[in-house]
Amino acid sequence: MTSVRSLCALVAVALAMGLATPAPASTDAEDRNRLIEDLIAVAQLDETDASTPMRLAHMLRDAGRHDEAAHWIDVAIKRNDELAIDILAPDPDLDRGAMPISSGPDVIVGDITRLYRWGKQGDITAYSIGTTSCNAGDENLKWEAQTKFHPVIAQHAYRIKDGRIEMIGQSFVKHGFAALTGSLCQTEFGYGCSGQGGTVLGVGCSDPYSSNLNGSYSWLGRKLEINATTGEFPFPPTRVASGAPIGQRLQIRDEYLDPALNQDATYFVEALYIASDDAAAGNAENNASHRRVTVRENAPTTQAWIIDLTDEPTVRTQPALFAWQAQNPDVLLSEGHDPDGGYFIVGSAAYANGDGTWRYEYAVYNMTSDRSGRSFTVMHGEGTHIDDLDFHDVDWHTFSPVDGTDWTTRSRPRSTEWKTDSFDDNEFANALRWGTLYNFSFTANRAPDLGYAQLGLFKPGQGSGVRFVVISPGDGLPSCPWDLDHDGFVNSKDIAALLSNHDRPFSADRIGDLLSAWGRCSRPE
């Protein structure tokens, strides 16, 4: 095996000298060398990490430090020769399969890999998630480290417990740099990596970031600065104090992880990539993937919770909200867009309490809307008795200016509303910003049926809200409940929307209800 690795190392050095496209121009040699030193420190954190040494070798080669580059390629091969050789010698000549590729650049999360635990402060522990991205499009995706034309990566954590999914942690964003040339997703795409890397993620190529690299302060920036609808952000990004060991990283409170408090809970992590050329091509709605994880206790005296991946594979191109529906097929998922194209998903479910009342649960996920959500209103039948209103959000970081005040609630005869301050009153109000999921729930004395909910928008712009079909207390239906695409007509497009309810079509009686409402319809003011 040693001779094979030595041979691979020699091949790797030769390939590394000319495989990738030219590297982005560095601001200066001092800055470039600082980044290299940071990468060396990250590469030494985890002896199983092969992707960071490969990325380090790429940067060293571009700096003319070829002997050091050869050393780190050899380190990568010793740690994971399959990954290292795959990156160095991608196979672009596979036959194209039946799966259609996207038009333009299309970044997806092909895999979520090992989690890294950074440390604890008070009752909060910080983690980071390893991610491997893939370009599922037919054009290169820009990956320019020294410009704003590169993807950013957000990391999230979720808990499903007592019939609801909650977001329990989020991170700052990791700014991408130096794309590699793996072929993780070639089976799905039906073709191999084009071999183009560096300043682009080539067609069909994958790029692995280790968990410790995704939590390194050198490449973390504010989530608030990103316009997730367009993928735009100011460059260079604003830097803040590290706040080690938990600052900026994926932060989770002990109460959400403690096995004694969460015996029946299941956990998931999610990664979401945002990129401007991906958004411009209309491919931003498949950029989140999730994977199930477990929690174990490492040291009972310190309550150091360790998060491990399960053997279940990464669920590609679906945010973690889909895990709620996977556990409970009665969960209804409804999609919507703000007038600027930002993407939301609302999940809803109802549970009988056994005493003539039902518990209604709503999970509202803002994937890419820069407009954000300011209010959430559920319609219901007049005279419905509403009780036990609840709201749950995710913590914002110490260095974030967002005001984490809970939303206020108000119940009317035909609707129940939650809301936060307006943008004009407080631009840092606790709005439902991109890459976050908030929960809304209540108890009602009416059985569930189809109804609708309205999400009011936070930032100024055209249009004031987005309407969703949800499960709600009976008699809360609009005058045209089967106008699922909200165009004023019940027609074939609504049948298509019904049947494509995330591969969970309604029963035949629901289709009959839709057909009975065929034609033009009106809505109440």
pLDDT tens by residue, 110-153: 999 999 999 999 999 999 999 999 999 999 999 999 899 999 99
For residues 347 and 58, which has the higher predicted lDDT (pLDDT)?
347
Quick one: what percent of the chain has pLDDT higher than 70? 87
Whether 231 and 183 have beta carbons less than 8 Å apart is answered as no
**What is the reported pLDDT for 239?**
86
Pick the CATH number of 2-88 from 3.30.1330, 3.40.50, 1.25.40, 1.10.10: 1.25.40
Q: Would you say how long the chain is, in residues?
A: 525
- Nearest of 272, 281, 306 to residue 112 by alpha carbon: 272
The two three-digit tokens of residue 294, written as one number: 């477990």
Q: Is 346 left (phi over 0), alpha (psi -120 to 50) or beta?
A: beta
Choose the most confident range, by mean pLDDT, from 130-134, 486-490, 499-503: 130-134
For residues 95 and 285, which has the higher predicted lDDT (pLDDT)?
285
**What is the reported pLDDT for 300?**
61
- Nearest of 107, 103, 106, 129 to residue 116 by alpha carbon: 129
- Nearest of 6, 115, 16, 83 to residue 56 by alpha carbon: 16
Give Dmax over CA atoms of the chain in angstroms: 79
pLDDT tens by residue, 455-468: 999 999 988 899 99
Q: Is the pLDDT of residue 436 over 80?
A: yes
Q: Is the pLDDT of residue 85 over 70?
A: yes
**What is the reported pLDDT for 187?**
77
Cα torsion 202, 206, 208, 209: sign: positive
Binning pLDDT at 50, 70 and 90, where does residue 35 land? confident
Choose the most confident range, by mean pLDDT, from 235-249, 297-311, 331-345: 331-345
Q: Where are the domains of the chain?
A: 2-88, 107-309, 330-477
Relative to beta strand 448-457, strand 408-411 is unpaired
Binning pLDDT at 50, 70 and 90, where does residue 502 land? very low
- Cβ neighbours for 297, distance < 8 A, ≥ 6 positions apart: 259, 303, 304, 305, 306
Pick the CATH number of 330-477 from 3.40.50.10710, 2.60.40.1170, 3.90.1150.10, 3.40.50.10110: 2.60.40.1170
Mean pLDDT of 164-180: 96
pLDDT tens by residue, 330-343: 999 999 999 999 99
Place of tokens 């310190």: 302
**What is the reported pLDDT for 474?**
81
Whether 450 and 471 have beta carbons less than 8 Å apart is answered as yes
Q: What does 263-277 look like in DSSP terms, one character per residue?
A: TT-EEEEEEEEE-HH
Whether 113 and 207 have beta carbons less than 8 Å apart is answered as no
**What is the reported pLDDT for 504?**
44
Tell me which of 21-25, 194-198, 370-374 is least confident: 21-25
Binning pLDDT at 50, 70 and 90, where does residue 61 land? confident
Rounded to whole angstroms, the Cα distance separating 130 from 147 reads: 23
Q: Find the helix or strand (DSSP H, E) in which 11 lies.
A: helix 2-16
H, E, C per residue of 274-316: ECHHHHHCCCHHHCEEEEEEEEEECCCCCCCEEEEECCCCCEC
* Per-chain mean pLDDT for the chain: 87
